[in-house]
Each structure stands twice: as C-alpha cells, then as structure tokens.
Structure 1
Amino acid sequence: MIETAQDPTIYQVIRDQHRAVAELLAELAAEQDVARGEQLFSQVRDALERHARAEEAVFYDILIQQDAEGKALAKDAERDHSQVRRLLAELERMRVDHADWAAKVEALTRSVTEHVAFEEDTIFAAVEAILDDDQARTLAETFEALESRVEPEAAA
C-alpha cells in the first residue's frame, strides 16, 4: 500500500488510543453498577494489553535498535507497562464492589496517565527524530495489524 498524507502516523494512532483508554478509565471510575463495572474493566484490560503488546513489539523496537539512550527509554516505558499489568492483575482478583476497588482504579488511572505523558512527550520526540512521516504512517499500519491479532484471552 502506498502511504498518503491522509493516513494516520503512529503518533496519531497511539494518541487516539490513549484518549479512548482515558475515557474508558473515567467511565470505570464513575460506574456504580457491578455488572457494568465488570464489563468496563474487561474492556479497559483488553485495550491496555493489546496496546502495550503492540507498542513493545513495534514502537519501542524502533528505539531499541538505535542506541543505549533509546534502549533506556524503551526499558522505562516497558517498566510502566509492567506496573499497569500488576495493577490490572490486582483489579482482576477484586470484585467491583470491593472497598478498595475505587482506590485501585485511581492508582491504575494515575499510572496510565503518567505513562501517557512520558510516552507522548519523551518517547514520541525520540522516535520522531528517527522516522520520517512516511515511515511513521507505515509503522501505524503495522502497529494496528499486530494489535488486532492479540487475542482478548491473551490480554487477560
């Protein structure tokens, strides 16, 4: 496929997903109904895992291939993903109506928000120095294709 200026770059795709997850997290934090909370949590968990796997395999790989500084940035981002996965696992074991649920969702939201800020400020700048616009569009296509292949069960 020939990339055009209308095709999204990797940065646009990731930003859009960050905003979608932020909206889901806000809904989850406000939800009072147990069944709906469980459904929202499942959506959040699956979206975050698919996103993280695609970032690690496609986006961060660009940095890892560069230099020690790029490797360190990717390692920091992967550490953030590990923290998010740990919080997701804790929530997975907890009922939505558990006394600690809201605090744990707040911790997850904070962790995701901090990661997004780091990624969109620091990592994007590092990758933008490496890729031209056409490469960023091609990478977006690769990212989305990989992400769509992550099975929901594998994301759990």
Structure 2
Amino acid sequence: MNIFEALRKDHDIQRELLKKLVQTSGDTKLRDNIFKSLKNELETHADGEERFFYKPLIDSDKTQQKARHSIAEHHEIDELIEKLEETDYDSSAWLKIAKDLQEKVEHHLEEEEHEVFQMAGKVLSENNKGKLADEYEKYMEKNR
C-alpha cells in the first residue's frame, strides 16, 4: 500500500461518517456517537496526514504551497468541529453547522485526491510512498 491508498481509505471512512451525521436529528445517542467517531477520525487523520504526508511535501518547492493550503483547511475543519461542540444537539443551528462541516471536508478531500496527490506523486519516490503509508497506518492504529 502507498500513502495515497492509505489516505484515500480513511477519506472514505470520513465521507461515510459525514453522510450518516447529517441524517441524524435532535439530541440523540446516535448523533452523539457518530459525531464523536467523526471528530476522532478527523483529528487523528489530520494529525497523521500532517506528520506523514504534508511534512515531506513542505520540504519541496513544488508542493509547499499546496501542503500549506491543505494544513490551513485542517484548521478550518477544526473550527467547525469546535462550533458543533459548543452548539446543543437539538438546536436547529447544529445541523446547519454539520452540513457546513460536510461541505468543507468533502471539498478538502476532493482537492487533496485530485490535486495534491498528483503533485505529491511527482515529488515522492516509490519507496518513500510505501514507507510513509506504513508510518501513517501505524500511527492511525495506535491513536484511533
């Protein structure tokens, strides 16, 4: 497995959790469970991705700007998660913020998969792509 396959696998988990989250309503155990799972997944993934994918990309002039942009988007996603935590589950604003989060995350994942991965593919060696995937997967297993 290479780093792109490892990240895409987790992106699919995030998309599925987001889809389930925006289908929930009210102050329910289901909404709480899905939100906590999504929050953990997004935070752990962003941290692992920054360590094992963006860090090597920042070192290259070709990918530095895209890497910095993606890291900035991680912070925007964190801010939306904080807003959700500060809002009551049964508030009408909660679902709107959750949909904003879904839109932001899906935009981020699309940009990553269709722009950043292509640029990174030209900068990272085949050996490095495999090594980064191994390190990323070990990190995710330990911190999920």
TM-score bracket for this pair, using the shorter chain length: over 0.9
Deviation, structure 1 residue 111 = 0.3
Aligned partner of residue 22 in structure 2, secondary structure: helix
Tell me which residue corresponds to 2:31: 37
Misfit runs of 4+, over 3 Å: none
129-138 or 108-117, larger mean C-alpha shift: 129-138
After superposition, residues 4-153 of structure 1 pair within 5 angstroms as 8-32=1-25, 34-67=28-61, 69-150=62-143
Deviations 1:74-128 (A, max 9, x none): 1100111011000000001112211111110100000001100111111101110
CA distance in 2, matches of 1:135, 1:75: 20
- The worse-fitting range, judged by mean Cα deviation, of 132-141 and 110-119 is 132-141
Unaligned runs of 5+ in 1: 1-7
- Matched position secondary structure for 2:39: helix
What SS does the corresponding residue of 1:30 show, helix, strand or coil? coil
Q: Is the 8 A contact 1:84 1:112 kept in 2?
A: yes
Cα displacement (A) at 1:145: 1.7
> Residues 50-95 of structure 1: CA distance to partner in whole angstroms, max 9, x if unpaired?
000011111001211111x422111100111011000000001112
Task: Please state how far the C-alpha of 1:138 moved relative to its aligned partner.
Answer: 1.4
Deviation at 1:147, TM superposition (A): 2.7
1:62/1:127 contact within 8 Å kept: no
Instruction: Give the superposition deviation at 1:149.
Output: 3.6
CA distance in 2, matches of 1:47, 1:95: 21
Normalised TM-score (structure 1): 0.86
Q: How far apart, CA to CA, are the structure 2 residues paired with 1:87 and 1:136? A: 31
In the alignment, the residues of structure 1 paired with residue 57 and residue 127 of structure 2 have an alpha-carbon distance, to the nearest angstrom, of: 17
Structure 1 distance, partners of 2:29, 2:52, is 35
